[in-house]
Chain A
Amino acid sequence: AQKVIQVWSTTSRQEGEKLTLDCSYKTSQVLYHLFWYKHLLSGEMVLLIRQMPSTIAIERSGRYSVVFQKSRKSISLVISTLQPDDSGKYFCALWELLLSGSFNKLTFGAGTRLAVCP
């Protein structure tokens, strides 16, 4: 079963609009972090946001924010005032602290490809 679910595989918007990308996750761990990454057309993967239990780190300044609903196990990325440069693929990822001693690694969703039209 998928642990990180991004429902929309592709979407498109007009320049200037506001967009919300949804992500839901499954975990039974007490401590976990969530991430939003952007995969650029150049191939580079850029960290946008890191959501920790009670704080959020915005790694890339700009028009990004999140709506984090812990009880619903949902974290949405909000991009305001879209620009053509926002086009790319956005990945949600879950990192869980496993107390079993096994390696803690990121689990990625399938990603949502965004096209912003001028």
Chain B
Amino acid sequence: GGIITQTPKFLIGQEGQKLTLKCQQNFNHDTMYWYRQDSGKGLRLIYYSITENDLQKGDLSEGYDASREKKSSFSLTVTSAQKNEMAVFLCASSPGGPVAETLYFGSGTRLTVL
């Protein structure tokens, strides 16, 4: 088995701040993902990466940057936090390349913007 570790667990920021969320996995999976979960909505894909140094935009990439410098880590940057924003950001990984299916998730980072 493996584990996905997301840091920090809770993130509180100010409007306009640049905030970075980190994710590490030891499954040796090729593909990693960042999802955002808002209350009442399904998970929405922000960015994904098929392999080291690869970045692909998801459905919600505007306002975010991502970085995959190593196979085991995938970071997400909120480029300018929006006031009163509250969401849970979930990192995930999967073994397959472009035919990825079963995802394994981290425990999430809860973002609150004051």
Report A's interface with B, CB cutoff 8 A: 4, 9, 33, 35, 37, 39-40, 42-47, 50, 91, 95, 97, 101, 103-111
Contact A43-B42, Cβ < 8 Å, known A97-B99, A104-B100: no
Q: How far is the CB of A44 from chain B (nearest CB, A)?
A: 4
A-binding segment of B16-24, B68-76, B78-86, B105-113:
B105-113
List the B side residues contacting A4 at CB < 8 Å. Answer: 42
Q: Report 30 cross-chain contacts, Cβ distance below 8 Å, ordered by A residue.
A: A4-B42, A9-B40, A35-B102, A37-B105, A40-B107, A43-B9, A43-B90, A43-B106, A43-B108, A43-B110, A44-B105, A45-B92, A45-B103, A46-B105, A47-B102, A47-B103, A47-B104, A91-B43, A95-B101, A97-B99, A101-B98, A103-B50, A103-B56, A103-B100, A104-B101, A105-B58, A107-B42, A108-B42, A110-B42, A111-B42
Query: With the chains together, A48 CA to B90 CA distance in Å?
Result: 17
Cβ of B88 under 8 Å from chain A: yes
List the B side residues contacting A33 at CB < 8 Å. Answer: 101
Evaluate contact between B102 and A108: CB separation under 8 angstroms: no
Evaluate contact between B42 and A109: CB separation under 8 angstroms: yes
List the A side residues contacting B109 at CB < 8 Å. Answer: 43
B33 closest partner in A (C-beta): A105
A96 closest partner in B (C-beta): B101
Evaluate contact between A104 and B98: CB separation under 8 angstroms: yes
A106 closest partner in B (C-beta): B103
Q: How far is the CB of A93 from chain B (nearest CB, A)?
A: 8
Contact of A45 among B41, B48, B108 (CB under 8 A): B108
List the B side residues contacting A43 at CB < 8 Å. Answer: 9, 88, 90, 106-110
Cβ of B45 under 8 Å from chain A: yes
Q: How far is the CB of A61 from chain B (nearest CB, A)?
A: 15
B50 closest partner in A (C-beta): A103
| 20-63 of chain B: CB within 8 A of chain A | 33, 35, 37, 40-45, 48, 50, 56, 58
List the A side residues contacting B45 at CB < 8 Å. Answer: 105
